[in-house]
């Protein structure tokens, strides 16, 4: 028996619950709207089976029918309180849209997340890959989060160090025991100096002759750049960057730089370099190409998308991703890794 808050649907297609919108029937779709709902599910033994957690499904691909339960975390709420003299600590439910928090912070003149405007998805998913854009990352403003342990049924608070944030990475990618129920971030009230070093953003602000832009102006310029480069999932189903920018270390980094001095590369730390995956894909000639009803977005080679009227399946998306990955490896000896979380009956990991 479920608690009054838990919503359950059996044998349901989750096409409407991920932004690639590929058809995939799952055994059960369960929506939890509170921590109490999670406790109820734990008591019922729900977490003893194979469970896939989703928020808004903007970083995942359901490939085929799956004999699993999908748990949609839809916990709401936003609380703001002073944090020292110059900061505000805000705590938001895992189901709240990240972009609503960014817009709220801009309206309230609180700095620190304005460059991450229009990143789709929920606040609960934001720590999973330490979301980031235009020079800001979640970890820069992260305070703590609350998470429910699937097996133990306990609710704990985790600080930044516990989350092991890295480049589009966190402990949660390696340890799926946790259901994030809320996150807390600190925003800056007084004395905020916006960071506008990111090249395309800084160029756009300069072009508008904005030397001391407001938070709203920064966000609006980010929105304009994003709209010019990225397909809208509502019209062209996609999940943003399909691959991560590869990090190369040691001998591999040295060899890559010697062989490809023209490559788009950024230093990370201690000899590690980040290579633009979009640049690698462009060199293979895949940008703008189609494979059936799936394509590589012409304005952004990292984004794979389905045509609006096509019938492409999740397997068609995987086929294109494999072709792109193989071409990059053949030309550069670099293995691309998926950023998008793949849910397929044929595999349990991110390898395609």
Which residues in this chain contact ligand FAD in the complex, by CB under 6 A? 19, 53-60, 73, 94, 119-122, 124-126, 128-129, 131-133, 172, 178-180, 230, 233, 238-240, 341
Round to whole Å and give the CA distance between 115 and 192: 14
Contact segment (CB under 6 A) with ligand NAP among 154-162, 186-194, 198-206, 212-220 equals 198-206
CA atoms within 13 A on the CB side of 276: 13
Q: At closest approach, how far in Å is the CB of 122 from ligand NAP?
A: 15
The active-site residue, picked from 24, 184, 241, 344, is 241
96 binds, among ligand FAD, ligand NAP, none (CB under 5 to 8 A by kind): none
Nearest C-alpha neighbor of 116 from the set 214, 201, 219:
219
Round to whole Å and give the CA distance between 332 and 287: 16
Which of 195, 202, 252, 276 is close enough to bind ligand NAP by CB under 6 A? 276
Query: Is-catalytic flag, 228?
Result: no
Round to whole Å and give the CA distance between 20 and 316: 12
Which of 230, 294, 324, 352 is close enough to bind ligand NAP by CB under 6 A? 230
Round to whole Å and give the CA distance between 32 and 329: 42
Helix (H, G, I), strand (E, B) or coil at 185: strand
Closest CB to ligand NAP among residues 40, 241? 241
Nearest C-alpha neighbor of 296 from the set 344, 231, 247:
231
Query: Is-catalytic flag, 339?
Result: yes
229 binds, among ligand NAP, ligand FAD, none (CB under 5 to 8 A by kind): ligand NAP
Please tell me what DSSP assigns to residue 134. T
Length of the chain: 352
Query: Is-catalytic flag, 241?
Result: yes
Contact segment (CB under 6 A) with ligand NAP among 39-47, 60-68, 129-137, 290-298 equals 129-137
Nearest C-alpha neighbor of 241 from the set 305, 197, 322:
305
Enumerate residues 290-329 that contact ligand NAP by CB under 6 A. Answer: 300, 302
272 Cβ contact partners less than 8 Å away, ≥ 6 residues apart: 247, 248, 249, 253
Please tell me what DSSP assigns to residue 245. P
243 binds, among ligand NAP, ligand FAD, none (CB under 5 to 8 A by kind): none
Binding site for ligand NAP (CB under 6 A): 132-134, 198-200, 229-230, 240-241, 245, 266, 276, 278, 300, 302, 339
Annotated active-site positions, please? 168, 241, 339
């Amino acid at each position: 028996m479920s608690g009054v808050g838990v919503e359950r649907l059996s044998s349901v297609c989750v096409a409407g619950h991920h932004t690639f919108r590929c058809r995939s029937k799952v055994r059960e779709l369960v929506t939890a709207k509170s921590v109490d709902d999670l406790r109820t599910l734990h008591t019922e033994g729900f977490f003893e089976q194979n469970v896939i957690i989703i928020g808004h499904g903007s970083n995942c691909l359901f490939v085929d029918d799956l004999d699993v339960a999908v748990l949609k975390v839809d916990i709401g709420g936003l609380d703001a309180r002073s944090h020292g003299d110059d900061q505000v600590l805000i705590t938001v439910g895992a189901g709240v849209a990240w972009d609503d928090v960014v817009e709220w912070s801009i309206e309230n003149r609180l700095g620190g997340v304005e460059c991450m405007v229009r990143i789709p998805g929920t606040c609960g998913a934001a720590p999973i890959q330490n979301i980031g854009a235009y020079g800001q990352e979640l970890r820069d403003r992260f305070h703590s989060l609350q998470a429910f342990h699937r097996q133990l049924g306990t609710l704990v608070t985790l600080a930044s160090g516990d989350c092991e944030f890295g480049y589009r990475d966190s402990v949660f990618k390696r340890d799926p025991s946790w259901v994030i129920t809320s996150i807390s971030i600190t925003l800056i009230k007084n004395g905020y100096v916006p960071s506008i070093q990111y090249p395309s953003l800084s160029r756009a602000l300069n072009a508008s002759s904005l030397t001391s832009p407001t938070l709203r102006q920064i966000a609006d310029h980010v929105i304009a750049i994003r709209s010019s480069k990225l397909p809208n999932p509502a019209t062209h189903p996609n999940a943003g960057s399909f691959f991560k920018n590869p990090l190369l270390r040691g001998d591999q980094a040295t060899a890559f730089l010697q062989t490809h001095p023209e490559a788009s590369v950024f230093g990370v730390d201690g000899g590690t370099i980040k290579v633009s995956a979009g640049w690698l894909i462009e060199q293979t000639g895949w940008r703008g190409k189609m494979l059936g009803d799936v394509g590589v977005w012409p304005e952004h080679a990292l984004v794979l998308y389905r045509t609006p009227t096509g019938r492409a399946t999740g397997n068609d998306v995987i086929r294109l991703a494999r072709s792109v990955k193989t071409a990059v490896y053949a030309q550069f000896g670099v293995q691309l890794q998926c950023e998008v979380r793949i849910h397929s009956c044929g595999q349990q990991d991110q390898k395609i």
